[in-house]
Structure 1
Amino acid sequence: MDWLKKTDASEGNTKKTKLSPWNILIVDDDDQIHLITRQALRRFTFQDRTLKFYSAYSAGEARDFLVSEENQFAVILLDVVMEEDDSGLKLADFIRHECKNSYTRIILRTGQPGVAPEYSVIKDYDIDAYKNKTELKQSDLEALFYTSLRSYRDINSLKKQRSNIEQLVDSITSISTAKNLPEFASSLLKQIEGFTGTDRGQLLLEPTESFTVSKGRQKTRVLAMTPESINIYQEEDMQSLEGRIHDLINNSMINHQDIKEHPYYIHYQKTQRGNEIIMALKSREPLTEEDEKLLNLFSSNVSLSYENLMLHDEIQESQRLLIRLLGGAMESRSRETGSHVNRVGDFAAFLAELYGKTADFIECIQMAAPLHDVGKVGTPDAILNKPGALTAEEWITMKEHSMEGYEILKNTDNPIINMAARIALDHHERWDGGGYPGGKIAEDISVEGQIVSLVDVTDALLSNRCYKKAWPFEKAVGIIEEGSGTQFNPELVELFVQNKDAFLEIFNKNPD
């Protein structure tokens, strides 16, 4: 393993990482257009990344570039008239519909602007701009590229967040099969490698008596994972870590804090039981702000899962960790606290118990309920965190999170995730059929969906949100009662009202 090789302590941190360029495809049958474009944008940079140009002189040649998996283009400058009068429009249609590429930004350019109406082209083919070839001034092109690259960056950011969630959900099956600490660490660290581009990871543990080879002896151990193997190193092997990472880990443990120094990311946490846990990661490229947020959530929960793995049922606690993490990640994006998803899980379990459900169902819904809003991974921040009322168009976008969450979670072999998929789909349905996305009525709504619908609204009413202040408890109870038989299952409402003091106690035990 590279980290256990002696190296010069000063090596590896003096060179500035060179970021990969933005790939740009110019599609035009006029060689001069290629030359002028390259010349005008030769010094252009966006987020410290330069442009790398590719040239295609026909729509057919461009298709060859586009079907190659090696080429992912941020922006395509596309001539409308080439082999045929509408070659560019046909290529745009090919990109959007046959290639299923909705993220590359397309700028159409033409010497015959009257050939196709500008509005219809932009609307039908998701075009960023439709420009006359005479608009080739450097300032015009730079303005276009700033706008288009920002759009490309933001689209890919949302795409990456969804991919992160899907990878974490998929990891639950492999994590649940872990029978010992190395298997558990391997599963978790492989997920980090996937969603951050990490080359390799190390999970360092400074244990008390519960986490030692011999009970009662304090000893530092290192769990190290590479794609080829996972190894457990003893305290004396710490001295063999290459110079810089050894210093960073020591500094993190001494100062009790995270350290970010590319290519290393060190996360420090001290658990409630007094264990100091350090996760040290080495990444190929600098971590983005979103990467760091996700890693902090992930790393914080990993430490709790590690302790529970050793003290309790390892499979069940590992599943609980990742489900809470996924729900908490969504609440973090919408500026709500992780306590919301915890309370929804506790409320749901208690209401299911009152409703006479089995112990397995109660345990399952407690872990599945926190994932009810996982579909918000695809909802823009501007809508999630809007302080005022949503517009009709924004509301349509917001409502898509139910189906989005179902699509992320469906079709697994895990009963908890399967229940979470049904909850994501049904928790905004109404008893009278006026809900979404399916307009289901009464018993057509899954029981878990009925339960989470009621407790999610309850917690929302009792909590501060970006668009409102918390309501008094009795007022919130009144709203739930008013929804009996219309928004909510009347039997569940009756049980809730009869046991309202117990629900309030659950709420107060886990405040924001």
Structure 2
Amino acid sequence: MTGNDEILFKDEIPPLAPAQSAGDDGWKILIVDDEADVHSVTTYMLAGQEYRGRKFNFLHAYSAEEAKIVLAEHPDVAVILLDVVMETDDSGLLLVKYIREEMNDYTVRIILRTGQPGKAPAAKVILEYDIDDYKEKTELTLEKMLVTLISALRSYNFITTIENNRNGLRRIIEASSDIFERQSLQKLGCGVLSQLTSILQLKKDAVLTQASGLTASGIKGESVILAATGEFSKYLEKPIHQIQSEMVHRALDRARTQPHGFYCEEDKCAWYFQSKTGSDNFLYFEISKDLDENDHDLLELFFTNVSLAFDNLYLNKGIEDTQKEVIFHMAETMECRSAETGSHVRRVSEYVRLMALKYGLGEEQAEMLKLASTAHDLGKIGIPDSILNKPGPLNPEEYDIIKSHVQRGYDLLVNSTSPIIKTAARIILLHHERWDGQGYPQGLVGEETHIHGRIVAVADVFDALSNKRVYHQAWNWDKVFAYFLEESGKHFDPCLVDILLENKEEFMAIWEEYHDECGVCSGSREALPADSARSDRSE
């Protein structure tokens, strides 16, 4: 035997899938023959034999039709000893076609045995049918039968090993795709635990019943539990050092010292890596399954992709944090220019988030919209204080200057490539458009205005009416909601008005939480009824 042969056979392992029946870890061998004596002789000859520590378990079928039923019940058959002539002269050959072409089973090894070689010449059968061996019954002594079976089982084992690795890689690709779509550390942690179940071929309920696990991440020794299952669920969002299990901490410490950061002993496994941004990331899980070499290889590949996902997320988070800081500073600058201080920007952003979620936008889009909305009055940075804080009505010239703030603000942000800042630019430009087309600057009608602009329009006016300004007193709730009902389909998107009216208590709760103690709120001069005589600063 050559060195290459040794390496090849060393890697042989019992197949991971398909799974064996409960309490049955032997090789399943199906005998298909219409002669009962053939079944008896075969099982007698091979009784007690085994390969790689696994015994031979025989299944029996006396016709091609019976064989189809047995194969449906036992998809993990390794070898079929198949007679050619049974119900018809070619029933065995037709069964081969059925197995390969209809069942799409190219894994099971098929050995044709015939007592009438003239009805199925070997050369013709081997060329035209997907079989693995062809024997005449008279030549199958015990020794030859054993050699034939061991050869077939070895081939079956190699094929299932390759197939398992292929499926494992496919799951790695699918899991990695899912992991890289996670847009927050917590969702990433949950995704890692969820995909780990698939990678290790655990049952769907294994995370809850057979496996316990956690993921944690943090900087400078302050790692926090991002996701947890089983007994670790009680530690969710708590520092990792609070876990009261010496075993967990020992496993994680061991993982730190491993070349690839992966440590596994019996049913307890840990993984550690430090990202390029300096964060410490941990994964710990317990399962009731022994991990073999293939499992280790798949996990290392999976963890490599996970580490890249963590790195990307931390880098993106740093960029997003910077963008958030810039936008918040711009919003604060605008608030400071008003004659009064207040929480207008904060309230509007909370209204916007709530309405976005009620409208059906996703959590991530709602969060981005909440942040971007804080810059909706950025363009007023170029409006003179004498106009912005004028307590009385505006003349036509002043009103035109006020209206210019949307284009000013839009021009400041429109060239950014940041999704958040681009959204802010869109909001600035569109939040004074009206459903009936009477808004500005473009006079858009209905859904021509992007949903972001329509949402902010409702939130902005809702806050303007419900808080005291230098140019009007705060309205009571009945009057506020009556105004929106009246303007539904005119100023505002009817769908958004319905959301506001159907969820009054939630919007009022935001006002209650962030209202100004002084009873006066700064912010934009929004659309008011006609009798306001253009005393507002935006219409």
Normalising by structure 2, what TM-score? 0.47
Normalising by structure 1, what TM-score? 0.49
User: In terms of Rg, which structure is larger?
Assistant: 2
